[in-house]
Amino acid sequence: MTYQNKKIGILGGSFDPIHNGHLRIAQSAYEEFSLDEVWFIPAGHSPNKDEDKMTNAKTRAEMVALAIQRIPYFRLTTYEIDKSGTSYTYLTLSELNKQYPETVFYFIMGADSLDYFDSWKHPEIICEKSIILVAVRNDIDMDEILNKIKQLQSQFSANIYPLSCGKTDISSSKIRADLGEGILHTEYLPIEVADYILKNHLYQNN
Protein backbone atom coordinates (compact mmCIF):
# COMPACT_ATOMS: atom_id res chain seq x y z
CA MET A 1 0.00 0.00 0.00
CA THR A 2 1.15 3.55 -0.72
CA TYR A 3 0.39 5.81 2.20
CA GLN A 4 -0.48 9.03 0.41
CA ASN A 5 -3.68 10.50 1.89
CA LYS A 6 -4.24 7.44 4.09
CA LYS A 7 -5.66 7.25 7.61
CA ILE A 8 -3.53 5.04 9.84
CA GLY A 9 -4.26 4.02 13.42
CA ILE A 10 -1.33 3.58 15.81
CA LEU A 11 -1.72 1.16 18.71
CA GLY A 12 1.34 0.88 20.90
CA GLY A 13 1.97 -1.19 23.98
CA SER A 14 4.17 -3.84 25.51
CA PHE A 15 1.80 -6.56 24.17
CA ASP A 16 3.07 -8.94 26.84
CA PRO A 17 1.06 -10.77 25.65
CA ILE A 18 -1.24 -9.27 23.04
CA HIS A 19 -4.84 -10.26 23.77
CA ASN A 20 -8.35 -9.99 22.35
CA GLY A 21 -8.94 -6.66 24.08
CA HIS A 22 -6.16 -5.10 22.00
CA LEU A 23 -7.67 -6.53 18.83
CA ARG A 24 -11.14 -5.29 19.76
CA ILE A 25 -9.85 -1.76 20.33
CA ALA A 26 -8.02 -1.79 16.99
CA GLN A 27 -11.10 -3.11 15.20
CA SER A 28 -13.29 -0.43 16.77
CA ALA A 29 -10.90 2.30 15.63
CA TYR A 30 -10.74 0.84 12.14
CA GLU A 31 -14.53 0.74 11.82
CA GLU A 32 -15.58 3.89 13.67
CA PHE A 33 -13.07 6.20 11.98
CA SER A 34 -12.84 4.50 8.56
CA LEU A 35 -9.12 3.88 8.89
CA ASP A 36 -7.12 2.29 6.10
CA GLU A 37 -4.91 0.30 8.48
CA VAL A 38 -4.04 -0.06 12.14
CA TRP A 39 -0.36 -0.45 12.97
CA PHE A 40 0.64 -2.35 16.11
CA ILE A 41 3.90 -1.02 17.55
CA PRO A 42 5.38 -3.15 20.37
CA ALA A 43 7.33 -1.03 22.85
CA GLY A 44 11.08 -1.21 22.73
CA HIS A 45 12.60 0.63 25.69
CA SER A 46 9.46 1.76 27.46
CA PRO A 47 9.63 4.76 29.85
CA ASN A 48 6.79 3.31 31.95
CA LYS A 49 7.76 -0.35 32.30
CA ASP A 50 10.44 -2.31 34.11
CA GLU A 51 12.22 -3.91 31.17
CA ASP A 52 13.76 -6.62 33.37
CA LYS A 53 10.24 -7.95 33.89
CA MET A 54 9.19 -7.70 30.24
CA THR A 55 9.34 -10.58 27.80
CA ASN A 56 12.02 -10.01 25.16
CA ALA A 57 11.01 -7.82 22.22
CA LYS A 58 11.37 -10.51 19.56
CA THR A 59 8.95 -12.81 21.37
CA ARG A 60 6.39 -10.03 21.90
CA ALA A 61 6.60 -9.05 18.24
CA GLU A 62 6.12 -12.67 17.15
CA MET A 63 2.96 -12.89 19.25
CA VAL A 64 1.61 -9.72 17.65
CA ALA A 65 2.37 -11.08 14.19
CA LEU A 66 0.48 -14.29 14.99
CA ALA A 67 -2.48 -12.40 16.45
CA ILE A 68 -3.01 -10.16 13.41
CA GLN A 69 -1.92 -12.46 10.58
CA ARG A 70 -5.46 -13.12 9.31
CA ILE A 71 -6.53 -9.45 9.32
CA PRO A 72 -5.27 -7.68 6.18
CA TYR A 73 -5.67 -4.13 7.52
CA PHE A 74 -3.65 -4.79 10.67
CA ARG A 75 0.12 -4.44 10.43
CA LEU A 76 3.06 -5.09 12.75
CA THR A 77 5.62 -2.29 12.90
CA THR A 78 8.86 -2.91 14.81
CA TYR A 79 10.04 0.71 14.72
CA GLU A 80 10.36 1.07 18.50
CA ILE A 81 11.98 -2.34 18.93
CA ASP A 82 14.55 -1.63 16.22
CA LYS A 83 15.65 1.81 17.40
CA SER A 84 17.91 2.62 20.31
CA GLY A 85 16.91 4.84 23.18
CA THR A 86 13.67 5.21 25.11
CA SER A 87 10.48 4.68 23.10
CA TYR A 88 8.63 7.92 23.69
CA THR A 89 5.34 8.30 21.83
CA TYR A 90 6.13 11.82 20.66
CA LEU A 91 9.36 10.61 19.01
CA THR A 92 7.62 7.72 17.27
CA LEU A 93 4.86 9.95 15.92
CA SER A 94 7.36 12.60 14.82
CA GLU A 95 9.35 10.01 12.89
CA LEU A 96 6.24 8.51 11.29
CA ASN A 97 5.08 11.96 10.21
CA LYS A 98 8.49 12.56 8.68
CA GLN A 99 8.43 9.24 6.80
CA TYR A 100 4.81 9.55 5.68
CA PRO A 101 4.09 13.29 5.44
CA GLU A 102 0.77 12.88 3.62
CA THR A 103 -0.64 10.31 6.05
CA VAL A 104 -3.01 11.18 8.88
CA PHE A 105 -2.16 9.25 12.04
CA TYR A 106 -4.68 8.33 14.73
CA PHE A 107 -3.01 7.54 18.04
CA ILE A 108 -5.10 5.05 20.05
CA MET A 109 -4.82 5.23 23.84
CA GLY A 110 -6.73 3.83 26.80
CA ALA A 111 -9.12 6.04 28.74
CA ASP A 112 -7.15 5.34 31.93
CA SER A 113 -4.19 7.20 30.40
CA LEU A 114 -6.18 10.44 30.06
CA ASP A 115 -5.73 11.32 33.73
CA TYR A 116 -1.97 11.61 33.38
CA PHE A 117 -1.61 12.40 29.67
CA ASP A 118 -0.44 15.91 30.42
CA SER A 119 2.52 14.38 32.31
CA TRP A 120 3.68 12.39 29.27
CA LYS A 121 6.82 13.48 27.49
CA HIS A 122 5.80 16.33 25.16
CA PRO A 123 2.03 15.75 24.98
CA GLU A 124 1.76 18.87 22.82
CA ILE A 125 3.78 17.14 20.08
CA ILE A 126 1.62 14.02 20.30
CA CYS A 127 -1.44 16.24 19.81
CA GLU A 128 0.22 18.08 16.92
CA LYS A 129 1.29 14.91 15.12
CA SER A 130 -1.87 12.81 15.51
CA ILE A 131 -5.59 12.67 16.10
CA ILE A 132 -6.13 10.94 19.44
CA LEU A 133 -8.69 8.18 19.91
CA VAL A 134 -9.55 7.25 23.48
CA ALA A 135 -10.69 3.65 24.00
CA VAL A 136 -13.61 3.76 26.45
CA ARG A 137 -14.94 0.61 28.12
CA ASN A 138 -18.58 0.07 29.01
CA ASP A 139 -17.89 0.43 32.73
CA ILE A 140 -16.28 3.88 32.49
CA ASP A 141 -18.24 7.10 33.11
CA MET A 142 -18.51 8.69 29.66
CA ASP A 143 -19.36 12.15 31.07
CA GLU A 144 -16.13 12.09 33.06
CA ILE A 145 -14.17 11.09 29.95
CA LEU A 146 -15.79 13.81 27.83
CA ASN A 147 -14.95 16.45 30.45
CA LYS A 148 -11.32 15.33 30.51
CA ILE A 149 -11.20 15.33 26.70
CA LYS A 150 -12.60 18.87 26.66
CA GLN A 151 -9.92 19.98 29.12
CA LEU A 152 -7.10 18.45 27.08
CA GLN A 153 -8.48 19.83 23.82
CA SER A 154 -8.34 23.30 25.31
CA GLN A 155 -4.93 22.80 26.88
CA PHE A 156 -3.18 21.36 23.82
CA SER A 157 -5.40 22.42 20.87
CA ALA A 158 -5.89 18.69 20.36
CA ASN A 159 -8.25 16.61 18.27
CA ILE A 160 -9.44 13.92 20.70
CA TYR A 161 -12.39 11.59 20.22
CA PRO A 162 -13.85 8.77 22.33
CA LEU A 163 -13.77 5.29 20.89
CA SER A 164 -16.48 2.84 21.92
CA CYS A 165 -14.87 -0.52 22.63
CA GLY A 166 -17.49 -2.34 24.66
CA LYS A 167 -16.11 -4.70 27.30
CA THR A 168 -12.32 -4.71 26.96
CA ASP A 169 -11.23 -5.11 30.57
CA ILE A 170 -8.68 -7.80 29.74
CA SER A 171 -5.31 -7.36 31.41
CA SER A 172 -1.98 -8.69 30.16
CA SER A 173 -0.69 -8.65 33.74
CA LYS A 174 -3.64 -10.78 34.87
CA ILE A 175 -3.04 -13.23 31.99
CA ARG A 176 0.64 -13.51 32.99
CA ALA A 177 -0.16 -13.97 36.67
CA ASP A 178 -2.70 -16.70 35.97
CA LEU A 179 -0.30 -18.47 33.61
CA GLY A 180 2.22 -18.43 36.45
CA GLU A 181 -0.37 -20.42 38.41
CA GLY A 182 -0.94 -22.80 35.52
CA ILE A 183 -4.20 -21.18 34.36
CA LEU A 184 -4.61 -20.28 30.67
CA HIS A 185 -7.62 -18.14 29.74
CA THR A 186 -7.99 -19.11 26.09
CA GLU A 187 -11.05 -16.88 25.75
CA TYR A 188 -8.81 -13.83 26.27
CA LEU A 189 -6.23 -14.75 23.63
CA PRO A 190 -6.15 -15.41 19.89
CA ILE A 191 -5.73 -19.17 19.51
CA GLU A 192 -2.40 -18.72 17.70
CA VAL A 193 -1.05 -16.68 20.64
CA ALA A 194 -2.30 -19.21 23.21
CA ASP A 195 -0.59 -22.01 21.29
CA TYR A 196 2.63 -20.00 21.03
CA ILE A 197 2.64 -19.31 24.78
CA LEU A 198 2.16 -22.99 25.59
CA LYS A 199 4.73 -24.16 23.04
CA ASN A 200 7.37 -21.76 24.35
CA HIS A 201 6.49 -22.18 28.06
CA LEU A 202 6.05 -18.43 28.53
CA TYR A 203 5.13 -16.80 31.85
CA GLN A 204 5.40 -20.02 33.80
CA ASN A 205 7.74 -18.58 36.39
CA ASN A 206 5.90 -15.30 37.04
Residue ranges of domains in the chain, CATH in brackets = 7-168 (3.40.50.620)
Peptide bond into 101 cis (omega under 30): no
- Asked whether the whole model's pTM tops 0.85, one would answer yes
Phi, psi of 167 (to 5 degrees): -95, 105
Q: How far is CA 127 from the centre of its chain?
A: 16
Per-residue pLDDT of the chain in tens (206 residues, 90 and over written 9): 677 889 999 999 999 999 999 999 999 999 999 999 999 999 987 666 556 678 999 999 999 999 999 999 999 999 999 988 788 999 999 999 999 999 999 999 999 899 899 999 999 999 999 999 999 977 788 899 999 999 999 999 999 999 987 666 788 999 999 999 999 988 999 999 999 999 999 998 74
Q: Is 74 left (phi over 0), alpha (psi -120 to 50) or beta?
A: beta
- H or E stretch at 106: strand 104-110
